[in-house]
Each structure stands twice: as structure tokens, then as C-alpha cells.
Amino acid sequence: MFDFLQDYDLLGAFWVTVKLTLLSGAGSLVLGTVLAAMRVSPVPLMRGFATAYVNIVRNIPLTVIIVFTSLGLADTFRLTLGGEGVKEVAFRMAVLGLSTYTAAFVCESVRSGINTVPVGQAEAARALGLNFTQVLTLIVLPQAFRTVIGPLANVLIALTKNTTVAAAIGVGEASLLMKEMVENEAQLVLITAVFALGFVILTLPTGLLLGWLGKRLAVKR
């Protein structure tokens, strides 16, 4: 019953899913943090730019962004991001698209984390004579980071599931293999169950671990 599974590279496909998740996760964390810094900055122009970015990007479907990176950036503008060959370029484009999209959600999580720190905390720190860097590194960020773990875990789980969209531009990750398999094999329910299980295995530990960590480190107020 399970024999036909050996004809396909299941682990390889899920490995691509993991690679997409980790690379886009790192990319969106960097971009999202920069955007969050802009969103809480005292410079109105930066705040406006970051707000516009978030409101535009998170309202465009991820599929539109991913397909655009392939048809628009790769095909029309001949952007390769240093990749060679169609497959490599598609993979890099998928990472770019996923990072761009997820950054908007990372930005919102980080910003809401900073906003949960009561103003009184910073005011008390300033009253003690701490300067801006000290207020930021000793008082605000340690509290904000702890609050942000839970929301960021949600973003990471959503990102893991969103990597399936890369199938739209032919990146050989799990869902593309699944589509190929259900079209060629008869065991539809079995194949779906295998892939569903694969995603449960990828997302459940992340949620449990980071959820536990978030609760353990939460600031009691």
C-alpha cells in the first residue's frame, strides 16, 4: 500500500519546504525589524513609509506577489539574484517574495510588542537619568522581546504553510510534489494524509515550543 511512496522524493520536497521557511524567516525577520524600527521612529516620513508598506503588502495576496517575482522580476526584468538555471532562480524568487510578504507581519508583531510596554516604564527610566540607548536596551527591548515571541511564532507557522505558494512558480516543494502524486496515483486520501502529517510535524513543535517559551518568559503585569 505504501510502496508507491518510494518512487517519489518525499523527504527532498519537504527539505525544500524547510529551506524556504528558514531562509524567508531570516529575511523577513531582518526586513520586518527594520520596518518596525521605522514605524516607531520619531521621523514622520519613515513612519509613513513603513505604514504604507505594511498596509499595501499585507493586503496583496501572497500568490500575486510570488507570481509577480517570477513573471515580472525574473522574466521581464531578467533579475536572477545570482541564481543559475530556471529552478535556482525560481527558488530565490520565492524566498524574495515570501520575505517581502512576511516582513509586513513581522513588523506588526514587533511593533505591537513594543507598544505593550507601558509608557510609565520608559518614563521611570528617563526619570532615573538613563539615556536613549539605556532606556531601549535595558528597559523597553527586554520586555518587548518577551511579548513578541508568541506573535512571532504564529508568523513562523503561517510562513511554513505559506511556502506551499511557491509551487505556483514551479519550486519543487511539498505541495508541488503532492499535486504531481495525486494526478498520477490512485491513493488520494493516503497521499493527502501523508502531506498533511508532514506539515503537522513541521508546525506543531514550533507552536508548542515557542508557545511554551513565550508563556514562560511572559512579563507578568
Partner 1 sequence: MSSVLYDTPGPRAKARNLIVSVVFAVALAAGVWWLVSALGDKGHLEWAKWKPFTESSSWTVYLLPGLGNTLKAAALSMIIALPLGAVFGIARLSDHAWVRIPAGTVVEFFRAIPVLILMVFANELYSGSVEPDVRPLYAVVTGLVLYNASVLAEIVRAGILSLPSGQAEAGRAIGLRKSQTMRFILLPQAVTAMLPAIVSQLVVIVKDTALGGAMIGFTELLRSRGTMSAFYGNTIPSFIVVAVIFVVLNLILTTFASWLEKWLRSRKKSSGAVLGAAAIEDAKTVGAKANTDGGAR
Whichever of 83 and 211 has its CB closer to partner 1, that residue is 211
Whichever of 27 and 150 has its CB closer to partner 1, that residue is 150
Whichever of 115 and 217 has its CB closer to partner 1, that residue is 115
What torsion, rounded to 10 degrees, do the Cα atoms 66, 68, 69, 71 define? 120
Residues in contact with 79: Cβ distance below 8 Å, sequence separation at least 6, in sequence order: 73, 93
Shortest gap between Cβ of 26 and partner 1 (angstroms)?
21
Shortest gap between Cβ of 116 and partner 1 (angstroms)?
8
How far is 197 from 22, CA to CA, in rounded Å?
19
Shortest gap between Cβ of 88 and partner 1 (angstroms)?
21
C-alpha dist (Å) from residue 26 to 12, 23, 95, 104, 109: 21, 5, 10, 14, 15
Are 210 and 149 in contact by the 8 Å Cβ rule? The answer is: yes
Residues binding partner 1 (CB under 8 A): 40-46, 49, 55-56, 59-64, 66-68, 71-72, 75-77, 114-115, 117-119, 121-122, 126, 132, 135-136, 140, 150-151, 153-154, 157-158, 161-162, 164-165, 167-168, 175, 178-179, 182-183, 188, 192, 195-196, 199-200, 203-204, 206-208, 211, 214-215
